[in-house]
Structure 1
Amino acid sequence: MTRLKIDVDYLTRQLRELLAIDSPTGYTDTIVRHVAEELERLGLEPELTRRGAIRAVLRGGRREGARAIVTHLDTLGAQVKFIKENGRLELVPIGHWSARFAEGARTTIYTEKGSYRGTILSLKASGHTFNDDVDTHPIGWQHIELRIDALCWNRAETQALGIDVGDFVAIDPQPEFLDNGFIVSRHLDDKAGVAIALATLEALLRHEVTLPVDTHWLFTIAEEVGVGAASIVTPEIASMVTIDNGTTAPGQNSTEFGVTIAMADQAGPFDYHLTKKLVDLCREEDIRFQKDVFRYYRSDSASAIEAGHDVRTALIAFGIDASHGYERIHIHALRSVAELATAYVASPVEIKRDIEEVSDIEGFTEQPTEAAEQPKRVRHLPPRAGT
């Protein structure tokens, strides 16, 4: 098939709306409602698990051997660990991120009585008081505190506001959408992935594409703490493609343009055949791509496999600079990933035996084992001994 045209304005609008909704892991009800309503507007019938993970199925020619596209709605954040004697708050992180990127962040504290605004500061935040100690103060969650923008200068006054241990703290994304295509914000992981999934779905519906098998659109709510797609994968799903970020950093092959196809992460290699199919589709559809391996990274796919689901998994990523910090992406990557996702879900099913959860050896896949053909002309021969 020819790759579908993605409505970039729709994709960008969805990303703006998603970034405007706070959704640290554990505090995701509002964003779940938002995405469920958008899926209904597109004509699907979303189903929610007890805690709020979303499944919406776009019907195809067959139910068995279904495909899935998975992204996550939750983001990094923090919780109140302790109310200090000075009325400020000690925090613990939600998800794995550095206190280095927390310093200076504007926040919202969600309590049972309502929300408050605040700022995360170093314990030595005043340059006029601490002089050079501001620069040499250690980095770590025990070295920062949250200053609440309310009349509270001791523990009793803070408690009187209704703030308590365990309250959720959401970090402002502070998004910027630049005319040159760059987008800078916190929480692009994985709200950009959610926007891509919605734009992919919108394109398929707008072009009235007939799918070979059902495609499940999965939106999880606890990926940042390792739960991911563990409980939302159903038995009819044979293959699952995760859309998430690919880190552009020294030693990595990812870029902020095109699609990054992950070959492995810290949970191990992704499925050989599904990954190869995605690479082949990029070549056939002239979609820019690169491959990468991530040492300190896991996604929704890893949690599904670890939970015992026998599904083929792959990860297609948009390159992101400064992941889990002040992140930057480019619209070219978002569009490219959406184009690949449309090509994938519309492509023919090649491994027929995946319809069954268990079957015999007939039709089982093969991986190449023969030696590669060597080039006939060798240009750089080693020098002869003694020359």
Structure 2
Amino acid sequence: MSTYPNTEETIGLIKQLVSIPSPSGYTTRVIDFVEDYFKELNVETYRNRKGGLIATLPGQDTGKHRMLTAHVDTLGAMVKEVKASGRLKIDLIGGFKYNSIEGEYCTIHTADGNSLTGTILMHQTSVHVYKDAGKAERNQENMEVRIDAKVENAEDVRALGVEVGDFVSFDPRVETTGNGFIKSRHLDDKASVAILMQLAKHLKTENKTLPYTTHFLISNNEEIGYGGNSNITPETVEYLAVDMGAMGDGQSTDEYTVSICVKDASGPYHLGLRNHLVNLAKSNGIGYQLDIYPYYGSDASAAIKAGHDIVHGLIGPGIDSSHAFERTHETSLQCTESLLYHYIQSDMAI
């Protein structure tokens, strides 16, 4: 019998995943990594035309399907302008604020396959030169990338192969602590991807037969709104997004339980599925919190908006400082894995 949940293995996978650059639109390499993982488990996979990955575990009932999804794409940026100074203006990919990337190390991925490192800075960074360094607005006009190369003008930059449209990824700075925390950029949603990978591994290792054929969609465009809105089989009844629980003032979500979303910006999630998840958590002693995310949308809500006739839900580990300097705790990962394990073997909610 294998140990499950094995948080050490899950955190190890998270570290690998967050270290692979994958802003929305630049996800082939990380999808390759996940695909290879499933292939080693002899899990059937295919890629959709958008570049996402679907892995399928057959179940006893082939007339009703489940789909679980987590997204492997992350926040990032794209080169907007090569400035005359040799610095780069960037355009953001995903919903976050410029102040959350000030001072961050980054990598510019050129079209010819090369990469250059840099730092995202305010133009008015030096307090010895700019008296308004602390007051200037953190926006596209004032923030720029300083490339780690000897460049004095736009021509020097272009000679390195850098051009408008090149992707920019952010250094994850992943770190674990001795008391169970993992902190890194891109825990949204690579923590959940690792959880689904571990779940599939455990089910295959233990030769578990699922009650329903179940698909794992590793989506690659969630941060821009449409990662999980297609490739849903007609037989799919339940669609469960596994994505981070957002923390902050007025929120119930914490870093030590699984968050079960009851409503986000798209509206309420399916009541029957929500109650089913709550009952599973209660009966199996799994710590959970119910929560509403007012400025949030998931792959499940994208699927509903696309017109799919499904029962939709959303759960995930609690992540502090979402879309910025993220952190969670191993107990939240454990609770999420445990709830998914019991859910995937349970009867349908309706």
- Bin for the TM-score computed over the shorter chain: over 0.9
CA RMSD, Structure 1 to Structure 2 (Å)? 1.1
Deviation at 1:42, TM superposition (A): 1.5
Q: Distance in 2 between matches of 1:286 and 1:208?
A: 24
TM-score (norm 2): 0.97
TM-score (norm 1): 0.88
What is the correspondence of 1:146-161 to structure 2 with a 5 Å cutoff? 146-161=145-160
Alignment correspondent of 1:215: 214
- AA at the equivalent of 1:94: I
Alignment correspondent of 2:304: 305
What is the correspondence of 1:140-219 to structure 2 with a 5 Å cutoff? 140-219=139-218
Q: Distance in 1 between matches of 2:268 and 2:258?
A: 18
Q: Distance in 2 between matches of 1:248 and 1:207?
A: 35
Q: Distance in 1 between matches of 2:7 and 2:207?
A: 18
Contact 2:286–2:335 (CA<8 Å) still a contact in 1? Answer: yes
Alignment correspondent of 2:248: 249
Deviation at 1:350, TM superposition (A): 5.0
Deviation at 1:208, TM superposition (A): 2.4
Q: Distance in 1 between matches of 2:312 and 2:99?
A: 33
Deviation at 1:141, TM superposition (A): 2.3
Q: Distance in 1 between matches of 2:164 and 2:57?
A: 42
Alignment correspondent of 2:127: 127
Aligned length: 347
What is the correspondence of 1:347-386 to structure 2 with a 5 Å cutoff? 347-349=346-348, 351=350
Contact 1:53–1:232 (CA<8 Å) still a contact in 2? Answer: no
Deviation at 1:50, TM superposition (A): 2.0
> Unpaired segments of 5 or more residues in structure 1?
352-387
Contact 1:200–1:339 (CA<8 Å) still a contact in 2? Answer: no
Contact 1:54–1:219 (CA<8 Å) still a contact in 2? Answer: yes
Deviation at 1:129, TM superposition (A): 1.5
Q: Distance in 2 between matches of 1:253 and 1:348?
A: 28
Alignment correspondent of 1:268: 267
Contact 2:181–2:328 (CA<8 Å) still a contact in 1? Answer: yes
Contact 1:122–1:143 (CA<8 Å) still a contact in 2? Answer: yes
Q: Distance in 2 between matches of 1:142 and 1:321?
A: 29
Alignment correspondent of 1:85: 84
Alignment correspondent of 1:288: 287
> Unpaired segments of 5 or more residues in structure 2?
none
What do residues 303-332 of structure 1 show as CA deviations (whole Å, max 9, x unaligned)?
111111111110012111110000011111
Which of these two proteins has the greater Rg computed from alpha carbons?
1
Deviation at 1:258, TM superposition (A): 1.1
- Identical counterparts, % of pairs: 38
Q: Distance in 2 between matches of 1:153 and 1:7?
A: 51
Contact 1:242–1:316 (CA<8 Å) still a contact in 2? Answer: yes
- AA at the equivalent of 1:117: T
- AA at the equivalent of 1:130: Y
Alignment correspondent of 1:42: 41
Q: Residue 240 of structure 1 aligns to a residue in which SS?
A: strand
Alignment correspondent of 1:102: 101
Contact 2:263–2:292 (CA<8 Å) still a contact in 1? Answer: yes
Contact 1:66–1:214 (CA<8 Å) still a contact in 2? Answer: yes
Deviation at 1:167, TM superposition (A): 0.6
